[in-house]
Homo-oligomer: A and B are copies of this chain.
Amino acid sequence: MTFGYVQLPDLEELEELLSLATASRVCALQRVLAHALTGGKRFRAALVATAAGFASPDPRAVARAAAAMELIHLASLIHDDIIDEAAFRRARPSLYRLFGRVPAVLTGDYLFASAFNLIIDLPKSILKIVTRAIRFMCEGEIAELGEKNFDVEAYFDRVRKKTASLIVASCQCGGILGNLRGAELQQLEKYALNLGIVFQIIDDILDLTGSPELIGKPSLQDLNRGIVTLPVIHFLNTSEEGSAWREKLARGGLSPEEARELAGRLASGGSLHYACKVVFLKIKLALGALEFLPAGRARENLREIAWGLLTPLRNLNYPDPAEELAKKIEPFSRGAGNLEKVIGGGQEILGAFLRV
């Protein structure tokens, strides 16, 4: 199993469990599930497996927890598609467009139940983590729909719930299986929370800068739907044009022309650069938290996963400053030795990134 540059302990049973857990004698459902399972980076499974590596737990238990996280993620993606009416997901037509709204709702529900079924025999703490994460995710998504809030704090609160909660839960479950407890588990959660925020901000950046081919879905979707992401919030709160754009966004989504115009402003006005800075700050916090965990292969892998998240920034068509940033990431993104230098160097080296 690989994730980015990271070679992870193989979870032979993962794909098998995913197939088994989603097997159904109802042909229509089986077709939908097979479609849903294809593709995907298995990011949450990788986190469970990696964090579990702090000890040597039963690989079947690890595979079950990992598969459950993937199923929950998949269920939430499917339900998100209905919400977004998104036509593309993972570069293929979404379940919603392909099979209609109805199977999508039901397939999501089926996957939630299948996920619980997988982890019923694991420690209760894991079940509790999972149910809490789902509740958080729903709260975060509903908050996003509610009032238009152009405040940075509200943004981070939403992201913590919507995106980070399942990433945190994956690390928590892995950590528990990997025998981490107390302060160590808390540091792992801190790592995961920052990782989750990075994950979302990179998604925000890619929506503004990535080509549809690169990101597997049409770009500028967030702006078209009136979802205010971190670069946009920065722009609204710092630019002279902010209040004019605020009014447009408060009315709902932007037109394609308006969205393209605003995306240009975000690039030229430094708001994308700001978002990149926050990404690096959060990566630093994530890596810092890892320092408190037992040294060894598991910790190295968690580090690599964090750096691996930055990979898409390297592929951006967006020329500057992200490309420059990306070039500077490259030397550090392979091999733990170099990473030590980055982190060891602390504020100076990170500062070099941030000043790009």
Contact = CB atoms under 8 A, between A and B. Distances in A.
Interface of A: 24-29, 32, 75-76, 79, 82-83, 101-103, 105-110, 112-114, 116-117, 120-121, 124, 127-128, 131-132, 134-135, 137-139, 141-143, 145-146
Nearest to A140: B26
A28 B143 CA distance: 7
Nearest to A75: B109
Given A117-B131, A131-B116, A141 B83 contact: no
29 contacts: A24-B139, A26-B143, A27-B146, A28-B143, A29-B142, A32-B142, A82-B82, A82-B102, A83-B102, A102-B141, A103-B142, A103-B145, A105-B105, A105-B108, A106-B138, A106-B141, A107-B142, A109-B137, A109-B138, A110-B134, A112-B112, A113-B131, A114-B131, A114-B135, A116-B116, A116-B131, A117-B131, A117-B132, A120-B124
Given A29-B142, A106-B141, 18 more contacts: A25-B139, A28-B145, A28-B146, A29-B139, A75-B109, A79-B105, A82-B102, A83-B102, A83-B105, A83-B106, A102-B141, A105-B105, A109-B137, A110-B139, A120-B127, A120-B128, A120-B131, A121-B124
A102 B29 contact: no
Given A28-B146, A83-B101, A138 B124 contact: no
A104 to B, nearest CB: 9
Nearest to A81: B105
Nearest to A142: B29
A142 B28 contact: yes
Nearest to A100: B145
For the complex of A and B, 9 pairs with smallest distance between CB atoms: A113-B134, A110-B138, A117-B131, A28-B146, A106-B138, A26-B139, A83-B102, A29-B142, A113-B131
Given A145-B103, A146-B26, A146-B28, A112 B110 contact: no
A134 B116 CA distance: 11
| Residue of A105, A124, A128, A145 ringed by the most chain B CB atoms within 10 A | A105
Contacts of A145: 28, 102-103
A289 to B, nearest CB: 26
Contacts of A79: 105-106, 109
A241 to B, nearest CB: 30
Nearest to A133: B113
Nearest to A24: B139
A167 B110 CA distance: 18
A215 to B, nearest CB: 23
Nearest to A117: B131
A234 B116 CA distance: 39
A109 B134 contact: yes
A112 B128 CA distance: 13
Contacts of A108: 105, 109
A304 B112 CA distance: 35
A109 B139 CA distance: 10
Nearest to A138: B110
Contacts of A128: 117, 120
Nearest to A120: B127
Contacts of A106: 79, 83, 138, 141-142
A148 B348 CA distance: 68
A142 B26 contact: yes
A26 B108 CA distance: 23
